[in-house]
A and B are shown apart, each in its own frame.
Chain A
Amino acid sequence: MTLGVDSYREAFESIRASLPGERDAAFDAFAAKGFPTNRVEAWKYTSLRPLARQRFRPAEPDMEAAVPLLGDGPRIVLVNGFLREDLTTVPVGRWAGPNGRADAEEEPLVALNAAMAGDGYVLTIGDAWEKPIEIVHATAPGRTGPVAQSRNRIVVGPGGEAHVVERHVGLGSGAYFVNGVTGIEVAAGGRLRHTKLQEEGADAHHLWFMPARLGPDAVLESTVFTFGARLSRNQIEADILGEGAELSLKGAYAVAGRQLADHTSRIEHRAAGATSRQVYKGAIGGQARGVFQGHIIVAEGAQKTDGHQLNRALLLSGRAEIDAKPVLEIYADDVQCSHGATAGDIDGDALFYLRTRGIPADTARGLLVRAFLSEISEELPEDALRRAVEERIDAFLEAGA
């Protein structure tokens, strides 16, 4: 029996008439598999069973809601998965639905998004942008939990260069479900820095899929900060298609209570001479769980590949848990690939050192957790953004994780 299909079929039927494009094939692709269960290897550690059992109504546009912004630079704002033209200052295209062909997506949830997404931005970067582009995905829980699904694309042309900051926020308290896609294409010689800040509400479920393609000498640096949501998964699938491309994926997360933060990445080196770097660091408190699945594939012929991956987790409470699966799958011989993973509590020696200097244990722990996560956050070029991240880390520590 497939999980969650019936309630989504009902939701899909209720909005199909209003959706642009051909949707049935995509919905069928979802319905064939349903929500993945733990028996699916890629979802071994993250159970969607409770989410699939919950009923959500398709989110509707909200043209009134106020949206908190980080800065006053160029921006794109979406509420409940729909573009707010009144708040958007950057010229963008709109997603017009699946392009006729059956979107036989392998991931059923991506297929569900293709079937039900009502909107999404298409951002084209043809030249160099000086200021970061802020993109806000806000969701209002309302009285009945909505499912917000948007399908977005960032296209960086040759010579294009920008820093895009995608923020995910909840407007008010309550349960909701976000199932989104941001596709990224960086053409030959293009450069994109992409920062994602996930601050969804405490009762939210956040699943975000990011397929990325890199051309020759393209540079993509994508960094994710995960703080919010009851359950979240940030899934990146990057295909390196051009020689000399550089990919860097980073992540920092701090979760507590009963949160689950899942970071899944798959990098496929299909061209020679490219490099990829991954560093994911997490602080896990309460009864929270961290999940890391990193997968580097080096295809036959992708010689001179340089791929490295590191995952480190701090377990801050007796009931915290980390599950990591760093996979290397290599079909070319002239490569340098590695991965490393560690899990454990704060280093006792470092803690002792600080305490001998008269720093109270709690403060010392806080300092060490901050230092641990700052390896990722200190690289943020914008002060406002870095401060926003640091505030979240402080809040996490103050809550006594």
Chain B
Amino acid sequence: MSRVAAETVEQVRSLGDRYKYGFVTDIESEQAPKGLNEDIVRFISAIKDEPEWLLEWRLEAFRHWQTMTEPNWAKLGIPMIDYQDAYYYSAPKQKEGPKSLDEVDPELLATYDKLGIPLREQEMLAGVAVDAVFDSVSVATTFKAKLEEHGVIFCPISEAVQNHPDLVRKYLGSVVPYTDNFFATLNSAVFTDGSFVFVPKGVRCPMELSTYFRINAANTGQFERTLIIAEDSSYVSYLEGCTAPMRDEHQLHAAVVELVALDDAEIKYSTVQNWYPGDENGVGGIFNFVTKRGACIGARSKISWTQVETGSAITWKYPSCMLHGADSVGEFYSIAITNNYQQADTGTKMVHMGPRSRSRVISKGISAGRASNAYRGLVKMLPGATSARNYTQCDSLLIGSKCGAHTFPYIESQNRSARVEHEATTSKIDDDQLFYCRQRGIGEEEAVALIVNGFCREVLQQLPMEFAVEAQKLVGISLEGSVG
């Protein structure tokens, strides 16, 4: 048994409780009135003291959104969402922005401790800068000084709007226009905060950047907007992870992430998503409708998406790469685990425009209980994609006879010299492997976690170290109760 697998078993054993992040922090929230209309959009923009052009952009998005209908093509059963029955702005009450951790509400800090994000500890040990988003407002940012030294801008997007308006104006909506899709358009109108990263020419970001998103306060939709720009020959690795409190009412989350990579730049974007999936009867849980897209604009640029999706009642998410640049590279590594009544429809789009652009898609879907797990992907070779190359592999694993695993790949090639290869398999956990583990005294549930971790190995390996450990734990936790 490999060392990594042994660790996993250890971790799975140590995590007895089902969902250890199910708690609610009691902090008085500053909320906008319920509902969605132009006034709310103006309210959000005003409270953030935004420039006129951004308000106009939001309003245009909102007007466009009113003409749109929810997409229904995904293999998801989505209950009716009443967009008027939600709060679109809620911020932890605070008089002024905190200058250091000492000024942060101790209750918030305690919440992060429970989540396993020890800010101070990380500051000293891990060398990871954390921009923690609590509900909609960024609460604390660390390591700023060090990043500034290198010229890296890493701050809440609301702050970037104030301090770097030209950059935001140039790139916001350049990859995901406000007309893109129902949820992205909604986000454009009402986004409250998120992260902004700018890595200047030739700079290799000195540390992994990480943001923890957390949904709090009942009936609050969260609409993050993340924008990452990597200038020529720069490199940045960005980690995103999330957990949410246990609730019985569905919560909507519609984020937009835009990545821009210029000549020779590389962006690595990793996600561990562990939002509340609902209970074993399918009650509650987060609705996660996310638009993530990266543009490899420059020659030889590279964007790599890695995701571990274990949470949410419904996941609708297709991190994509628009490969404009010659010799640009797009990658997508994904693990999606659904259990009980969870539903996931996730995958990627690789659109090849530049000559010799390359893409690689590795997707692992695991479905247990009564869950539905679908991979949906597009690989498109446009006439300009001379000698472009794609390789796609999607594997699905089924645990139990009541779940479903589906694969919906779309392959479109308009260039003879482009090569596209696609493979997909669906099977169940191998009885022999299970027997082998059981024979050595490993309990069935642990054995399943072990085998599934092995199945996902190719993707787990892509994660930065500290997340790989957490992700392995999640794989085990997410499948608890799926066997026996």
Contact = CB atoms under 8 A, between A and B. Distances in A.
A199 B426 CA distance: 37
Contacts of A313: 413
A343 B413 contact: yes
A6 interface: no
B411 A343 contact: yes
B426 A337 contact: yes
Interface of B: 73, 381, 383, 396, 398-428
B413 A333 contact: no
A41 interface: yes
Contact of A329 (B73, B406, B411, B427): B406
A327 B427 CA distance: 15
From B383, B406, B413, residue with most partner A Cβ within 10 Å: B413
A344 interface: yes
Contact of B421 (A303, A337, A342): A342
A246 to B, nearest CB: 20
Nearest to A344: B419
Nearest to A339: B424
A326 interface: yes
B427 A335 contact: yes
Contacts of B402: 300
A330 B413 contact: no
A330 to B, nearest CB: 5
A342 B409 CA distance: 12
B418 A344 contact: yes
Given A325-B409, A326-B409, A343-B418, A332 B424 contact: no
A368 to B, nearest CB: 14
Contacts, number: 118
A322 B402 CA distance: 35
Interface in A288-324: 300-301, 303, 313, 315-324
Given A41-B73, A329-B404, A331-B404, A345 B416 contact: yes
A315 B387 CA distance: 13
Interface residues of A, number: 36
B75 to A, nearest CB: 8
A321 B428 contact: no
Contacts of A334: 401, 428
Interface in A324-365: 324-345
24 contacts: A315-B413, A318-B415, A319-B414, A323-B410, A323-B412, A325-B409, A325-B411, A326-B422, A328-B407, A328-B424, A329-B406, A332-B398, A333-B399, A334-B428, A339-B424, A340-B421, A341-B420, A341-B421, A341-B422, A342-B419, A344-B413, A344-B419, A344-B420, A345-B416
Contacts of B416: 315-318, 320, 344-345
A341 to B, nearest CB: 4
Given A316-B416, A322-B413, A327 B425 contact: no
Given A315-B415, A317-B416, A334-B428, A340 B423 contact: yes
B427 A337 contact: yes
Given A326-B422, A326-B424, A329-B404, 7 more contacts: A322-B411, A323-B411, A323-B413, A327-B408, A333-B401, A341-B409, A343-B418
Contacts of B404: 329-331
Contacts of B407: 326-329, 339
A280 B73 CA distance: 27
Contacts of B398: 330, 332-333, 335
B69 to A, nearest CB: 13
A342 B427 contact: no
Contact of B417 (A303, A321, A345): A345
Contacts of B418: 343-344
Given A315-B416, A344-B416, A300 B401 contact: yes
A297 to B, nearest CB: 9
A273 to B, nearest CB: 15
Nearest to A309: B424
B408 A338 contact: no
A337 B409 contact: no
B426 A338 contact: yes
Nearest to B422: A341
A243 to B, nearest CB: 17
A337 to B, nearest CB: 4
Given A327-B406, A330-B404, A331-B404, A336 B412 contact: no
B455 to A, nearest CB: 14
Nearest to A295: B408
Contacts of A324: 409-412, 422
Contacts of B420: 341-344
B401 A342 contact: no
A157 B415 CA distance: 47
Nearest to B378: A325
A41 B73 CA distance: 9
Contact of B400 (A319, A320, A322, A333): A333
A337 B399 contact: no
Contacts of A321: 412-414
B73 A330 contact: no
Contacts of A335: 398, 426-428
A332 B411 CA distance: 26
From A317, A328, A335, residue with most partner B Cβ within 10 Å: A328
A334 B412 CA distance: 31
B401 A325 contact: no
From B414, B422, B426, residue with most partner A Cβ within 10 Å: B426
Nearest to B406: A329
A323 B414 CA distance: 9
Nearest to B423: A340
Contacts of B410: 323-325
A333 B369 CA distance: 11
A312 to B, nearest CB: 10
Name the 10 nearest CB pairs between A and B, nearest first.
Answer: A333-B398, A315-B416, A344-B419, A341-B422, A324-B411, A328-B407, A338-B425, A343-B413, A337-B426, A333-B428
